[in-house]
Amino acid sequence: MEIIIEPDYEKMSKTSARIIAAEIRRKHDSVLGLATGDTPIGTYKELVKVHEIEGLDFSKVRTFNLDEYVGLAPPHKNSYNYFMWDNLFNHVNVSLSSVYVPQGNTDDPEQFCHWYEEQIQKAGGIDLQVLGIGGDGHIGFNEPGSSFASRTRVKALEEQTVKDNARFFEKEEDVPRFAITMGIGTILEARKILLIANGEKKADVCAQFIEGPVTSQITASSLQLHSYVTVVLDEAAASKLKRTEYYNWVRDNKHLVEKRVGR
Ligand code: PGA
């Protein structure tokens, strides 16, 4: 894992947007896996700027979102589909037919999940998967205990996740208890992974998934099994890491590292 520590949320967002933009420039028809939540809002804002100012072209880009609440129709204001249009898709030249977000109000979730996996395969797999991390260590809605072999499916949400996400809803009772989410197995098949996190409330869980043991109790720790992961944190989220000096050395000597390690 490459760990990049930035001083604040703004820098974290700029760096992660640069990583995504570089991927799109490298491969114009990149397949991106995208995340929702507070964390990536700044990253999407930066990407929109790169599109507007530097002409970053999304016309051939295809996107697959990680997850969606069960029961929420795409236009619902709390749906992740709405979030994505509001924060990114409406502001760049992505084509409507290239955007996939799990359908929360599907009549047949099992069949839908199967179809979603098929679409990812048909697109050639995900080139770059963007992830946030939940307070309980989840990626997507893969709550503690999720199998590392899991595929897109319906998952019941943890109490902590419901509480964390209640801020977006009028009352806690309105937060759906189930979500469709890509599985850990689905996520680990992406060619590259970019996880972003900010704020002190993520410090413990970041230390656990980066420097702790691989465990299904912190599903983000499964990323230790992947060969190409970049983690971009602000200083607050990185504040409980033990090997900060090493991460910073690697970053400051990137030219040397790239020459020797190839990345
Ligand atoms: P957040 O959510 O970005 O709103 O903190 C992250 C997540 O739950 O994956």
Q: What's the whole-number average pLDDT of the chain?
A: 96
The string of pLDDT tens digits covering residues 43-62 is: 999 999 999 999 999 999 99
**pLDDT for the residue numbered 257:** 82
Tokens of 257: 């590292």
**pLDDT for the residue numbered 256:** 87
Task: Please tell me if the CB atom of residue 133 comes closer than 6 angstroms to any atom of ligand 1.
Answer: yes
Burial class from Cβ neighbours inside 10 Å (0-12, 13-18, 19+) for residue 263 reads exposed
**pLDDT for the residue numbered 258:** 83
**pLDDT for the residue numbered 166:** 92
**pLDDT for the residue numbered 148:** 98
Q: How far apart are CA 159 and CA 49, in angstroms?
A: 36
DSSP secondary structure string for all residues of 235-251: TTTTTT-S-HHHHHHHH
**pLDDT for the residue numbered 261:** 78
Instruction: Answer yes or no: are the C-beta atoms of 192 and 127 closer than 8 Å.
Output: yes
Residue 233: DSSP 8-state: E
- Of 166, 116, 157, the C-alpha closest to 138 is 157
**pLDDT for the residue numbered 100:** 98
**pLDDT for the residue numbered 110:** 96
**pLDDT for the residue numbered 203:** 98
Task: Determine the distance separating the centroid of ligand 1 and the alpha carbon of 259, expressed in angstroms.
Answer: 35
Best residue for ligand 1 mutational test, from 164, 165, 167, 184 (most atoms within 8 Å of Cβ): 164
The string of pLDDT tens digits covering residues 129-184 is: 999 999 999 999 999 999 999 999 999 999 999 998 998 899 999 999 999 999 99
Residue 131 CA, closest ligand 1 atom number: 9
**pLDDT for the residue numbered 254:** 87
Residues involved in catalysis: 67, 136, 138, 143
**pLDDT for the residue numbered 242:** 98
Task: Determine the distance separating the centroid of ligand 1 and the alpha carbon of 30, expressed in angstroms.
Answer: 24
Task: Determine the distance separating the centroid of ligand 1 and the alpha carbon of 136, expressed in angstroms.
Answer: 10
The string of pLDDT tens digits covering residues 233-263 is: 999 999 999 999 999 999 999 888 888 877 7
Task: Determine the distance separating the centroid of ligand 1 and the alpha carbon of 119, expressed in angstroms.
Answer: 25
Task: Please tell me if the CB atom of residue 38 comes closer than 6 angstroms to any atom of ligand 1.
Answer: yes
**pLDDT for the residue numbered 89:** 98
Best residue for ligand 1 mutational test, from 9, 12, 34, 36 (most atoms within 8 Å of Cβ): 36
Task: Determine the distance separating the centroid of ligand 1 and the alpha carbon of 256, expressed in angstroms.
Answer: 34
The string of pLDDT tens digits covering residues 172-223 is: 999 999 999 999 999 999 999 999 999 999 999 999 999 999 999 999 999 9
SS3 of 117, please?
helix
Of the pLDDT bands very low, low, confident and very high (cuts 50, 70, 90), residue 91 is very high
Task: Please tell me if the CB atom of residue 102 comes closer than 6 angstroms to any atom of ligand 1.
Answer: no
Q: What is the average per-residue pLDDT within 109-113? A: 97
The string of pLDDT tens digits covering residues 65-75 is: 999 999 999 99
Task: Please tell me if the CB atom of residue 104 comes closer than 6 angstroms to any atom of ligand 1.
Answer: no
